[in-house]
Amino acid sequence: MLRGSLAIWQRDMLILRRSIISELVAVVAYPLTIYLAFGIGMQGYIGLVDGAPYSLFIAPGLITMTAVNAAYNESVWSLWFHRRVQFTIESYRVTPISVSEIVIAKILSGFTHGIIKGCVVGLVIFAITPFRFPLEHLVQYLLFLIPGSAFFSCAGVISGTVMDKPETIGKVEAVLVMPLIFMSGLFFPLSSYPSTVIPWVRALPTTALFEGARRALVAGEMMPTAAVQISLSALLTFVAAVYIFRRKMSE
Amino acid sequence: MNTSALSIHTLTKAYGALTALDSFNLEVDQGSIFGLLGPNGAGKTTLIRILTTLMRQSSGSATIEGFDIFQSGQEIRRIIGVVSQENSLDRYLTARENLELHARLHGMERRLYAPRIDELLELMGLSGRQKDFPDTFSGGMQRRLVIARALVHLPRVLFLDEPTTGLDPQSRRAVWEYIRSLAGKMTIFLTTHYLEEAEQLCDRIAIMDHGKLIAIGSTQELKDHLNGATVYEIDFAEGAAHSAELLGNMPCVIDIKQIGNKVVVTLECWECLAEIVTALNGAPVRRISLQERTLEDVFISLTGEKVRE
Ligand SMILES: Nc1ncnc2c1ncn2[C@@H]1O[C@H](COP(=O)(O)OP(=O)(O)OP(=O)(O)O)[C@@H](O)[C@H]1O
Ligand SMILES: [Mg+2]
């Protein structure tokens, strides 16, 4: 049944392979700049956060952020471009494959972009900074990174399906996606929030993702509720993405 | 035996308040080349989008090779090839990769599609450019590539929405030749704004406007539909204005136009010509010629001269 998804996903991976160097340079530049500016530049002013030097506190979050950002961006732009600019989605739709196969392929592609780019940024941070973690923590970490990337890829597919104008996509990213990422304990511990706000922030799937992923990577600690929360969110957005795309296509 | 490749019954599509397709009925024979003409906004693309399962009708029904478009979308997509009005080539894939992806989406295996793609590229004159990206192609080459893509899986019904728009006469003729070579092997349904194209290619032609079918038949049948009026062109050596005034007062002349030394008269029927000749006795006439009715005349007479919004 997923033959069509496989063909489209392989097409997307071929394109990624062709431009891998420029893609990776672009994707590494951003988290690395943040790392240098905040992690190194501000370190002296900030001191220890949750018992760790600031640069180490933010490192796992930067890896996670890169992955989910890449997943979201790939999905949203790819869907918009293939639907509105190149009309490739239309050319897929006159073949015997189903609409669900198309949307699943696009979700998978965004997800793969996220995982690959997250791993590369992880390697770079590992290579040029003193940030270290025991390798066995990686398994716990992946329990967050995988549903996290899936969640953002599905969210990207939804945005790329419902939004017809590129400027809308930029606005949604500025007012929704970036705040969600930045407010969920990437750059500061949740304890910095007023106590009345904390339960609300905790309810966000992104908080579960960034908190859980950092604890998993740094301390090898498992936060089961957070893992379940982000996994369930990923599942829900997956169902929503397939549903919304199918509806849009039957208009 | 049902020999209709396409059977359309009271097909209707409304976009909000606008009825783009209005109780449309049509039968297209298997193996024929069928041409659909109509001014901008007539509803041609809307009809093709519904038939190719890209869009749902508001009411009515249609079958392609016996499959209902609403219930058997997947079966239909297996047997149709589609060349849409906009180029939908993947500019990040080479020409060959575009065709390969399409073959894979049709579930074809490499040993089956590789030779087929070789053959199509050769036929479309694109073999030498198969590793290039469509961005580097001229409009005509891109269009030929889209047509090749629609043919990879050997469709039984081929839909072409303005296949030659924007092509130079050479490319257009190449595409025509290829379409003609397919005749009989599959049913071809095309839309076009080039009346010559319809005349050259199509066994049957339909003209539609405002979502409705307004005429259907072979080119000759459509021309015969025109009223009995005949148009003659008369060339004068001099004094055309004077003769035009004279002719303009005659009861059998419906319309008269003077352009330089030339006068174009529309007569009620060809029998009036004798009267005209008599009236012109002594005038310096160089030539009298009958203007052939063209498909364009039919088209304009049916759809009017006003440009569509
Ligand atoms: N998605 C849409 N939403 C609303 N109206 C539409 C949509 N698509 C087409 N229309 C309208 O439906 C009518 C028929 O359009 P269609 O594209 O089918 O015409 P066409 O005959 O293909 O024209 P052209 O020769 O310019 O390609 C037009 O009035 C058009 O404005
Ligand atoms: Mg059209």
Is A8 within 8 Å of A88 (Cβ atoms)?
no
* Rounded Cα–Cα distance for residues B98 and B150 (Å): 11
Q: How far apart are the first and last CA of chain B?
A: 44
Is A97 within 8 Å of A4 (Cβ atoms)?
yes
In this prediction, residue B1 carries a pLDDT of 46
Q: Which positions in chain A touch B86 (Cβ < 8 Å)?
A: 87
B158: left (phi over 0), alpha (psi -120 to 50) or beta: beta
Complete edge-to-edge strand list for the sheet that includes strand B262-267: B253-259, B262-267, B230-236, B285-290
Residue from B104, B109, B146, B189 to probe the interface with A (highest A Cβ count within 10 Å): B104
For the domain covering B4-218, report its CATH number. Answer: 3.40.50.300
CB spacing of A86 vs B91 below 8 angstroms:
yes
Ligand 1 centroid, distance to B46 Cα (angstroms) = 6
Considering chain B, what is the average pLDDT of its residues?
90
Please report the sign of the dihedral spanned by the C-alpha atoms of residue A75, residue A78, residue A82, residue A85.
Answer: positive
Ligand 2 centroid, distance to B292 Cα (angstroms) = 29
**What residue has token string 């580097």?**
B136
pLDDT digits (tens, 9 = 90+) for B173-209: 888 998 999 988 999 999 999 888 998 899 999 999 9
Name, in order, each residue with C-beta under 8 angstroms of B98's C-beta and a sequence gap of 6 or more: B89, B90, B134, B145, B149
Touching check for A105 and chain B: CB below 8 Å? no
Residue extents of the structural domains in chain A? 3-250
To the nearest 10°, report the CA torsion of A161, A164, A170, A174: -60
* Predicted confidence (pLDDT) at residue B309 exceeds the cutoff of 80: no
CB spacing of B107 vs A3 below 8 angstroms:
yes
Residue extents of the structural domains in chain B? 4-218, 230-292
Q: Minimal CA–CA distance to B98: which of B124, B69, B78, B72? A: B124
Per-residue pLDDT of chain A (251 residues; tens, 9 = 90+): 689 999 999 999 999 999 999 999 999 998 888 888 887 788 778 878 888 888 888 888 999 999 999 999 999 999 999 999 999 999 999 999 999 999 999 999 999 999 999 999 999 988 888 888 888 899 999 999 999 999 999 999 999 999 999 999 999 999 988 888 888 888 888 888 999 999 999 899 999 999 999 999 988 888 999 999 999 999 999 999 999 999 999 87
Residue/partner pairs of A177-183 with CB below 8 Å, 24 or more apart: A177/A69, A177/A72, A180/A204, A180/A206, A181/A65, A181/A68, A181/A69, A181/A206, A181/A210
Buried b (16+ CB within 10 A) or exposed e, B24-46: bebebebbbbbbbbbbeebbbbb
What helix, strand, coil percent values describe chain B, rounded to 5? 35, 30, 35
Pocket of ligand 1 (CB under 6 A): B 15, 18, 20, 38, 40-46, 85
Residue from A8, A22, A77, A94 to probe the interface with B (highest B Cβ count within 10 Å): A94
Note the ligand closest to the C-alpha atom of B51. Answer: 1
Planar angle of CA A59, A63, A68, nearest 5 degrees: 140
Nearest to A95 among B84, B89, B102 (CB): B102
Residue from A91, A98, A104, A106 to probe the interface with B (highest B Cβ count within 10 Å): A91
In this prediction, residue A144 carries a pLDDT of 96
**What residue has token string 């500016």?**
A37
Please tell me which residue of chain B has the smallest CA distance to A94: B77
The topology (CATH level 3) of B230-292 is: Alpha-Beta Plaits (3.30.70)
Q: Which positions in chain B touch A84 (Cβ < 8 Å)?
A: none
* Rounded Cα–Cα distance for residues A16 and A22 (Å): 10
Q: What is the pTM of this model?
A: 0.88
* Predicted confidence (pLDDT) at residue B23 exceeds the cutoff of 90: yes
Ligand 2 centroid, distance to A106 Cα (angstroms) = 29
In this prediction, residue A218 carries a pLDDT of 87
Burial of B307 (0-12, 13-18, 19+ CB in 10 A): exposed
Residue B113: CB atoms within 10 Å: 19
Ranges A35-49, A63-77, B153-167, B259-273: which has the least confidence: A35-49
Touching check for A20 and chain B: CB below 8 Å? no
Q: Identify each DSSP E strand in chain A by its residue range.
A: 48-49, 52-53
Q: Minimal CA–CA distance to A75: which of A22, A14, A154? A: A154
Segment 29-88 of chain B within 8 Å of chain A by CB: 52-56, 74, 77-78, 80, 82, 84, 86-88
Atom of ligand 1 nearest to the CA of B85: 27
Radius of gyration of chain A (CA): 18
B187-191/B157-161 β-pairing: parallel
pLDDT digits (tens, 9 = 90+) for B56-75: 999 999 999 999 999 999 99
Ligand 2 centroid, distance to B61 Cα (angstroms) = 21
B33-37/B212-217 β-pairing: unpaired
Reported ipTM: the value is 0.91
Note the ligand closest to the C-alpha atom of B207. Answer: 1
Residue B61: CB atoms within 10 Å: 14
Distance from the Cα of B150 to chain A's closest Cα (Å) equals 9
Q: Which of B44, B51, B52 to mutate to test the pocket of ligand 1 (most atoms within 8 A of CB)?
A: B44
Ligand 2 centroid, distance to B40 Cα (angstroms) = 7
Touching check for B110 and chain A: CB below 8 Å? no
- Alpha helices by DSSP H, listed for chain B, are 44-51, 73-79, 95-105, 110-123, 139-151, 169-182, 195-201, 219-225, 240-248, 273-279, 295-303
Touching check for A7 and chain B: CB below 8 Å? yes
* Rounded Cα–Cα distance for residues B157 and B182 (Å): 11
* Rounded Cα–Cα distance for residues A23 and B67 (Å): 46
Residue A37: CB atoms within 10 Å: 10
Q: Which positions in chain B touch A18 (Cβ < 8 Å)?
A: 92
Q: Would you state the structure tokens that stand for residue A54, as one six-digit string?
A: 């600031």
pLDDT digits (tens, 9 = 90+) for B218-246: 988 887 776 667 888 999 998 888 888 88
Q: Which of B40, B54, B192 to mutate to test the pocket of ligand 1 (most atoms within 8 A of CB)?
A: B40
Q: Minimal CA–CA distance to B296: which of B288, B306, B304? A: B304
Planar angle of CA B198, B202, B208, nearest 5 degrees: 60
* Rounded Cα–Cα distance for residues B34 and B54 (Å): 21
Nearest to A87 among B86, B101, B107 (CB): B86
Touching check for A94 and chain B: CB below 8 Å? yes
CB spacing of A98 vs B74 below 8 angstroms:
yes
Q: Minimal CA–CA distance to B192: which of B60, B42, B293, B62? A: B42
Confirm whether B4-218 and B230-292 share one CATH topology: no
* Rounded Cα–Cα distance for residues A182 and A65 (Å): 9
**What residue has token string 């996903």?**
A9
Distance from the Cα of A78 to chain B's closest Cα (Å) equals 12
* Rounded Cα–Cα distance for residues B272 and B299 (Å): 26
